[in-house]
């Protein structure tokens, strides 16, 4: 079973770069590694300087490094879109009103089936059981999406449970009426089983994301006061939902400014004050990743990888 490393944080903090650097380090150590981008704004291909598709793609010259970029919306529609449409329509056809009341726990959070997060749960479940990879590194979507993703297993259990329960209660009636009109039960079995598969997957993923032996969530932030405050809120929420968090990575920190740059010194001092506050605020180790020259592709990732451990030390 593959180990999971997840990178999360607000948009633009450098999650993709650090995820790519982690994958590079893992592959260099001989561990077969897959980098997965679940962020709708894909940039893994740009970071690695190679073409990446929706299937695992080799990242040369590393023999053990692969990457893929997923279109979550397309994946959901392909895997589960018809399942939920048919399930809801079936229940409604027998006069059961499930418009808002029965699915309020998803719709109120913007998680109506068909959104990106459902597809990512399905993706986690797929790669969790594959023996091909020793480590799967996830470059997750920005903070809001990530929190919804981590809450989704609980929310989806409730929703799918309601629908299946209602469908089960009227199942015998549906089959009887269907047979009267010459309608077989193959479709009913198909979508009921499909919804059940997703329910089972969400339960499995929930357990996995909360298993500190198999999953490490790494938070990425910037050396700015507002970013540090948002990071603390993310850490609090992750703690509430029981997701194990490793180190906090503060990206793009300044090294000691050169004397010929008078504008660099004040910014450097502000960053040092912010980093000192982060050390006091966060109840976990804080790692600094320095701001590096604008190299491109693997050259830049290799330089960043010097500051990013493969897995939790």
pLDDT digits (tens, 9 = 90+) for 164-186: 555 555 555 555 444 444 444 44
User: HSE-up of 256 (CA within 13 Å, CB side)?
Assistant: 1
* Domain architecture of the chain: domains with CATH: 3-72+116-155+213-305 (3.40.50.300)
Q: Stretch 187-195: mean pLDDT, rounded?
A: 56
- Helices 143-169 and 186-209, packing angle to 10 deg: 140
Q: What is the mean pLDDT of the chain?
A: 77
pLDDT digits (tens, 9 = 90+) for 250-272: 999 988 876 777 778 888 899 99
Distance CA 253, CA 9 (A): 16
Distance CA 28, CA 220 (A): 23
């Amino acid at each position: 079973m593959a180990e999971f490393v997840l990178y999360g944080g607000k948009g633009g903090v450098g999650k993709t770069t650090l995820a790519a650097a982690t994958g590079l380090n893992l592959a260099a150590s001989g561990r077969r590694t897959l980098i997965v981008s679940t962020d709708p704004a894909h940039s893994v291909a740009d970071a690695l300087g190679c073409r990446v598709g929706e299937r695992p793609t080799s990242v040369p010259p590393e023999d053990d490094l692969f990457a893929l970029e997923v279109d979550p919306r397309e994946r959901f529609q392909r895997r589960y879109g018809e399942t939920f449409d048919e399930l809801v329509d079936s229940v409604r056809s027998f006069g059961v009103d499930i418009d808002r009341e029965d699915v309020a726990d998803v719709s109120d959070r913007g998680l109506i089936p068909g959104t990106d997060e459902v597809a990512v749960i399905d993706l986690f479940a797929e790669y969790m059981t594959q023996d091909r990879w020793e480590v799967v590194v996830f470059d997750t979507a920005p903070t809001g999406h990530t929190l919804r993703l981590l809450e989704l297993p609980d929310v989806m259990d409730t929703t799918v449970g309601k629908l299946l329960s209602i469908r089960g209660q009227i199942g015998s009636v549906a089959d009887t009426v269907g047979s009267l009109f010459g309608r077989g039960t193959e479709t009913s079995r198909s979508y009921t089983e499909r919804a059940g598969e997703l329910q089972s997957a969400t339960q499995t993923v929930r357990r996995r994301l909360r298993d500190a032996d198999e999953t490490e969530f790494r938070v990425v932030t910037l050396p700015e006061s507002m970013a540090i405050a948002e990071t603390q809120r993310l850490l609090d929420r992750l703690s509430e939902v029981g997701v194990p968090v490793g180190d906090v990575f503060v990206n793009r920190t300044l090294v000691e400014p050169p004397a010929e740059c008078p504008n660099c010194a004040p910014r450097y001092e502000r960053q040092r004050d912010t980093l000192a506050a982060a050390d006091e605020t966060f109840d976990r180790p804080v790692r600094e990743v320095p701001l590096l020259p604008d190299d491109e592709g693997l050259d830049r990732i290799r330089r960043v990888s010097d500051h990013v451990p493969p897995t939790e030390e």
